[in-house]
Structure 1
């Protein structure tokens, strides 16, 4: 997604390809827009191949994952987790896999922590952070949130046990021990 200070937003890209489409040189349009010729050619090529849909930002996620664990291995890991209710090290030892691979598979399927599973049935009983219920409201002030903290006993009067205090001060010419100690007695 484009940020506010991006050279080209989707609207700016559309203006750029319209200028190029009207017959102007790509290098001149790129200089006007403050981008490189390579970038201008990239957006022009995408526009020719996909139309205006090619001018929006794409996801940066890889299109394929060739080293991903196979579906049959993932199924075996999930079945083993359900049957044994044990951790990745135990499952990895039984299936002949690396513990990190088993942990990654369990995390991908939302059963990475044993404490989130029912000890008897093995079903998920605690919501993960991704599936936690959140409450949102359409405008500020539509929800009042109050946090309450219970404190210990506070006696009447707010806890002030000393009812009278006396303050005494003197100004002396020096800070010698004899001068300071004469009033301390």
Structure 2
């Protein structure tokens, strides 16, 4: 395929070259006829004399020699450190006495996966997946948050005063369920993560998904005590739902809800200096509605989760 700025296609180059080489046209006349410079006409004529029709194809613009390219021995050292320690360009550069941009170019040249795409424990590329329809898999998890004392924490009062005010504030537990296909989320804030609380949360989450036309088939959780309980097991079994658990120490298996936890921390929990825990909790329903109905999701090509759930009410409110 010719370069998008090339004045001639391969056919046009061949016609120009034949006019010069075979028909004896002067270079300037051929250049004017094909609306190119005499230098360009000379180049294609010379290539035709040397290579024939094959010379009309685009050649690589890569230089024959690269005297300033990073030596092969150095490249091998960079790759060895990356594979063994799974470090980024800055740390590798410091260890080897190089510039981070040089290390980055080498990693890109050899198409080594980004660290965010790797399982840090094994070094293997994480396989991304998405179930075909809503309800085939729902991710469930709990996020523990320190409560904000009345009057505000360190973001409002400063670090020293906030630390004093922080005593005995306690913790909150955000229970969340996320549909794998649509990323539609249901979430509640509770004072604990006991089996009774987790099971009651799931009962309401299940009712929510059912109300929008999603039939839950499988639920994926970590290995927390509440999810190993008979109470949790019986609740899923009674609804005909298969329970799956992640492998120990592999939170990325439940990555979609883990990613949502990061999002709610950045965009809700720590998004502003709240004056009390109640103020933060009061803001949560509005944030969750925005996430489901209006916030564009990169995995959904910029569309909100509601775009994949036709039966979801209040989509544009």
For normalisation by structure 2, the TM-score amounts to 0.37
Q: Structure 1 segments of 4 or more deviating over 4 A? A: 3-7, 150-154
The alpha carbon displacement at 1:72 in A equals: 1.4
- In the alignment, what sits opposite 1:19? 19
Query: For the Cα contact (< 8 Å) 2:82–2:92, is it kept in 1?
Result: yes
Paired with 2:5 and 2:55, the residues of 1 have a C-alpha distance of: 21
1:122-171 deviation digits (Å, cap 9, x = unpaired): 233357xxxxxxxxxxxxxxxxxxx72366556xxxxxxxxxxxxxxxxx
The alpha carbon displacement at 1:93 in A equals: 1.8
- In the alignment, what sits opposite 1:113? 114
Paired with 2:92 and 2:107, the residues of 1 have a C-alpha distance of: 11
Change in Cα spacing, 1:19 to 1:92, as seen in structure 2 (3 Å) is: closer
Paired with 1:8 and 1:67, the residues of 2 have a C-alpha distance of: 33
- Higher RCO (C-alpha 8 Å, min separation 6): 2
Instruction: Determine which structure has more spread, i.e. the larger CA radius of gyration.
Output: 1
Paired with 2:85 and 2:19, the residues of 1 have a C-alpha distance of: 65
- In the alignment, what sits opposite 2:104? 103
- In the alignment, what sits opposite 1:138? none
Change in Cα spacing, 1:151 to 1:68, as seen in structure 2 (3 Å) is: farther
Change in Cα spacing, 1:18 to 1:122, as seen in structure 2 (3 Å) is: same
Change in Cα spacing, 1:14 to 1:104, as seen in structure 2 (3 Å) is: closer
Change in Cα spacing, 1:24 to 1:67, as seen in structure 2 (3 Å) is: same
| Residue ranges of structure 1 left out of the alignment (5+ in a row) | 128-146, 155-185
* Range with greater deviation from structure 2 (113-122 or 103-112): 103-112
SS at match of 1:120: coil
SS at match of 2:119: coil
The alpha carbon displacement at 1:26 in A equals: 2.5
> As a proportion of its length, which structure holds more strand?
2
Matches within 5 A, 1:38-77: 38-77=39-78
Query: For the Cα contact (< 8 Å) 1:47–1:55, is it kept in 2?
Result: yes
1:49-75 deviation digits (Å, cap 9, x = unpaired): 111111122233333322221221111
The alpha carbon displacement at 1:77 in A equals: 1.2
